[in-house]
Amino acid sequence: MGLLVLVLVPNREAVATGFLGVIAVLGWVFVGTYAYRNRWRDTDGGRVVMQLMLCLTVICTQGMLTILTDYQYPAREVIRPLLLLGIALAVLDLLLTMVRLQNLQRGERR
């Protein structure tokens, strides 16, 4: 469906903006549903999934805010790098958690 939209809609910028908006909305639905329906705090995996999804959702929301305000909202030059740093740290935490859990599983199998 997304590729069809990309082919049929001549304004690529509008398509990209639409996809960004959809990602932001779906991200907030995921974060809210995951927070409400799951015990995500109980496991390392649950915490890193929530952390990463929250960071990705916030950066997509920030992107939509940037587009909707024509790049003119206050403190954008500070907020944007901080959000990108948050995503980098969340991905690093995801990687470290994965390696630690894999090492624990290998130790249990021996």
* Section 91-96 average pLDDT: 94
SS3 of 19, please? helix
The pLDDT, as a whole number, for residue 109 is 65
Whether residue 99 is predicted with pLDDT greater than 80 in this model: the reply is yes
User: What does the pLDDT look like over 30-51, one tens digit per residue?
Assistant: 999 999 999 999 999 899 999 9
Do 80 and 62 touch, CB atoms closer than 8 A? yes
The pLDDT, as a whole number, for residue 52 is 93
Going by C-beta distance under 8 Å and a sequence separation of 6 or more, which residues neighbour residue 5? 15, 18
Residue 39 C-alpha from the chain's centroid: 19
Segment among 13-22, 46-55, 69-78 with least mean pLDDT? 69-78
